[in-house]
């Protein structure tokens, strides 16, 4: 008898790989808890209308990709293609909203979309995500982005892009859709068939087209950023302002709209060059109208979802391209007289920060060559010990990845920074 194979686009996670999954999930849980997020688990299948009303009838996910079936009583059910809509259904049903207080939730689970399988694209895939429910303010958009960045960093991914856009409130989007439809209609004959079909049904998604001709036409299309009204502009400016204060790099991308209907205001996506065609490994945004679409009252919220398979692909690539260990700190001295101080300091750091990888020079090299080495090793920090530091029992901490700023501090402050 022939053997039975797994379904196309699904994968067994075998014992040899399960460690990687568990490590990633542990980091996701730890980071989420540190930001005050609690785990929620909802059923893998829901009534179909959770997604048709939530994600949107005209989206690719609902139109073409859902695993929908009638159960034995004839009711239409769907394997969840994403988490946010069912999570919102659960929050409404279980009354998880407290007035004026955000409900902070995270999830890890498997999701199902009937897509054409390729590298980084499966029919059953896994996501880790968070939702900050019940805050209309830009501070919560930034909290969600900062959590995502913290998670990505802890995984050891430093080489990625954060793309950011605002698709404004409903009024903004309606005005913009009219302008964009006009423009696309004028250029209709040069657009791909798929984009032509989307002009009336899902106009914004035309901006997402990967077709080269379409991309050229889209480059001259009106920008949504020129259509933001006062409220939308104010919200977006505040998000950018706080991200700037936090020293976060982002790329404003007016064509970023994302594939689900429920977004409003801030949308963002994380991209990596390690992934090839499917280069987005996570994304999210604000959704102010999803609760009312699912029968609740309006509860403004914001969240993100990361694709676990794609994160693991990036980590595998980093490992293959880097035979050097990933380190956090390289301790350097300006003179070999201070090596004893450096050794003591490295012991102190390892004792107080068990998760920090800290190495200290043992070859009596010059500061210049050590700084070069730190760059090569992609170290987050360098600690410099010279005459003043040794005399005053302080250290100079240089940030190697952000602004290259350096500060002179005592050892306790160093531990505070490293464990923040
Ligand atoms: P989305 O829910 O479409 O915003 O997707 C969020 C993240 O989930 C993406 O950035 C991907 O990393 C991941 N993802 C979405 N669809 C798939 C898929 N079919 N296979 C693997 N990962 C996916």
Which of 280, 302, 312, 314 is the pocket-test mutation for ligand 1 (most atoms within 8 Å of CB)?
Answer: 280
**According to the model, what pLDDT value does residue 260 have?**
78
pLDDT of 323 above 70: no
**Residue 129 alpha carbon, nearest atom of ligand 1:** 6
In angstroms, the CA 81 to CA 267 distance is 19
- Residues touching ligand 1 (Cβ under 6 Å) are 82, 113, 115, 120-122, 125, 127, 259, 280-283, 305, 307, 309-310
pLDDT band at 173 (very low <50, low <70, confident <90, very high): very high
In angstroms, the CA 308 to CA 157 distance is 13
Which of 114, 259, 305 is the pocket-test mutation for ligand 1 (most atoms within 8 Å of CB)?
Answer: 305
**According to the model, what pLDDT value does residue 142 have?**
97
Q: What is the pLDDT of residues 6-21, one digit of tens each?
A: 999 999 999 999 999 9
Tokens of 218: 């889209």
Distances (CA, A) of 295 to 14, 111, 292: 41, 23, 5
Q: What is the pLDDT of residues 276-299, one digit of tens each?
A: 878 899 999 999 999 999 998 999
pLDDT of 229 above 90: yes
pLDDT of 403 above 80: no
What spacing in Å lies between the alpha carbon of 307 and ligand 1's midpoint? Answer: 5
pLDDT of 402 above 80: no
Q: What is the mean pLDDT of the chain?
A: 93
Strand partners, 121: 118
Tokens of 241: 């302002």
Q: Give Dmax (Cα) for the chain.
A: 81
Instruction: Mention every residue, 6+ apart, whose C-beta is less than 8 A from residue 330.
Output: 359, 360, 361, 370, 373, 374, 377, 379, 381, 382, 383
The mean pLDDT of 165-185, rounded to a whole number, is 95
This prediction has a pTM of: 0.80
Ligand 1: residue whose CA is nearest its atom 16: 121
Ligand 1: residue whose CA is nearest its atom 3: 259
**Residue 115 alpha carbon, nearest atom of ligand 1:** 19
Q: Is the dihedral of CA 301, 307, 308, 312 positive or negative?
A: negative
pLDDT band at 74 (very low <50, low <70, confident <90, very high): very high
Distances (CA, A) of 242 to 149, 225, 250, 301: 14, 19, 12, 18
């Amino acid at each position: 008898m022939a053997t039975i194979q797994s379904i196309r686009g699904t994968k067994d996670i075998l014992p040899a790989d399960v460690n990687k999954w568990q490590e990633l999930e542990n980091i996701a849980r730890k980071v989420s808890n540190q930001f005050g997020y609690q785990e929620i688990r909802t059923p893998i299948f829901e009534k179909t209308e959770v997604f048709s009303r939530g994600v949107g009838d005209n989206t690719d996910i609902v139109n073409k990709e859902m695993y929908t079936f009638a159960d034995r009583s004839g009711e239409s059910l769907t394997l969840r293609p994403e988490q946010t809509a069912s999570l919102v259904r659960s929050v409404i049903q279980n009354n998880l909203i407290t007035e004026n207080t955000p409900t902070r939730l995270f999830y890890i689970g498997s999701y199902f979309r009937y897509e054409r399988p390729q590298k980084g694209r499966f029919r059953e895939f896994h996501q880790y995500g968070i939702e900050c429910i019940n805050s209309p303010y830009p501070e919560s958009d930034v909290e969600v982005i900062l959590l995502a960045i913290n998670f990505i960093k802890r995984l050891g991914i430093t080489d990625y892009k954060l793309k950011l856009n605002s698709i404004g409130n409903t009024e903004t989007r309606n005005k913009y859709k009219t302008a964009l439809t006009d423009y696309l209609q004028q250029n209709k004959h040069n657009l791909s068939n798929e984009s032509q079909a989307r002009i009336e049904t899902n106009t914004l998604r035309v901006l997402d087209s990967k077709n080269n001709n379409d991309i050229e036409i889209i480059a001259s299309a009106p920008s949504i950023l020129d259509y933001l009204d006062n409220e939308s502009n104010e919200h977006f400016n505040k998000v950018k302002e706080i991200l700037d204060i936090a020293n976060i790099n982002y790329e404003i991308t007016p064509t970023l709209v994302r594939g689900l209907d429920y977004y409003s205001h801030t949308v963002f996506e994380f991209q990596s060059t390690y992934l090839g065609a499917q280069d987005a490994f996570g994304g999210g945004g604000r959704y102010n109208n999803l609760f009312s679409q699912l029968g609740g009252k309006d509860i403004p919220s914001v969240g993100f979802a990361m694709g676990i398979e794609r994160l693991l692909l990036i980590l595998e690539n980093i490992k293959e391209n880097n035979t050097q260990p990933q380190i956090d700190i390289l301790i350097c001295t300006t003179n070999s007289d201070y090596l004893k101080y450096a050794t003591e300091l490295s012991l102190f750091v390892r004792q107080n920060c068990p998760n920090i990888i800290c190495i200290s020079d043992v070859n009596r090299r010059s500061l210049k060559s050590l700084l070069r080495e730190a760059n090569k090793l992609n170290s987050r920090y360098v600690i410099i010990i010279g005459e003043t530091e040794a005399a005053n029992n302080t250290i100079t901490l240089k940030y190697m990845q952000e602004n290259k700023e350096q500060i002179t501090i005592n050892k306790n402050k160093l531990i505070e920074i490293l464990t923040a």
